[in-house]
Amino acid sequence: MSTADATTGRPFEGSARLGRSGRVLADARGEGRAALVGYLPVGYPSVEHSIEAMRALTEGTDGRGVDLVEIGMPYSDPVMDGLAIQHATTRALQHGVRTRDVLKAVEAVAATGRQAMVMIYWNLVEHYGVDAFARDLAAAGGSGLITPDLTPDEAGPWIEASDVHGLDRVFLVAPSSTPDRVMSTTHACRGWVYATSVMGVTGARSETSDAAPVLVERIRSVAPELPVGVGLGVSTAAQAAEVARFADAVIVGSALVKCLIEAESSRDLGALRGVVDALAGGVRGLG
């Protein structure tokens, strides 16, 4: 099956549920490909350089870049971050990154014309104030939140605030999720659904998960109106092309963060741009 075969022919319904970020994924599929979502945490190796790196994600070397930037807010007790992301976020916290810095990063990404989603652990939003965070995120130009440790049955304040401020809600579904959990989670989403393709923490892997296509089909069976993004483990153009055959978005994080770690002293973004180029080619079936 080609990337084009997988990403066309299934028109989305209920466009109101697509939100801003889901429309990005739907538009990519309208071009006969999957979207590319790139993750970087704010604050590593500094707030300013992390924002420069996020701009580089939107450009690559040839202007294609990622379709959507996922901005991570460092947290002292993450539940799903692998070693590379743990290293970067720990350093960011040591350097004094603050929740407001993620809003600064959102503004910078929005200024490039690309949309930004924030990946954040819920305690930080509660500490900031749920409605206040939603208000400030919308004012900064953000599209919404990805909340890895928040389930829909505990998300009443966020659902209300996101409705008020027009923000997307992306919850996570795992291979271990029960049918009832898949249904309740996807029905609470607006924008798209995040499918974690493997059990465990993030990190680049030598091969993608056999469970991912099955999970995507489970999600689509109950929420055909929403795109599905697959993350955890994609690191190469070949893997991106493989996931693009069955998912609406390919999410890459650790492979990008490793570029910043390897260039921490020089702070050169050439390698990062090159990885983005390869991944962008992968989702287009060119790699």
Q: Which residues are catalytic?
A: 70, 81
Task: Work out whether strand 144-146 and strand 115-119 pair parallel, antiparallel, or are unpaired.
Answer: parallel
- Token duo for residue 284: 């287009």
What is the residue-wise DSSP string for 58-84?
Answer: HHTTTS---SEEEEEPP-SS-SS--HH
Q: Where are the alpha helices (DSSP H) in 166-287?
A: 179-188, 211-222, 237-244, 254-262, 270-283
In contact, 23 and 71? CB cutoff 8 Å = no
CA-CA-CA-CA torsion for 174, 226, 78, 118, nearest 10 degrees? Answer: 170
- Token duo for residue 13: 């319904």
CB burial class (10 A; 0-12, 13-18, 19+) of residue 107? middle
Q: How far is 225 from 13, CA to CA, in rounded Å?
A: 5
Q: How far is 221 from 212, CA to CA, in rounded Å?
A: 14
Task: Work out whether strand 68-72 and strand 172-173 pair parallel, antiparallel, or are unpaired.
Answer: unpaired
* CA distance from start to end of the chain: 15
Long-range contacts made by residues 48-52, C-beta under 8 angstroms, separation at least 24?
49/267, 50/92, 50/105, 50/260, 51/104, 51/105, 51/108, 52/269
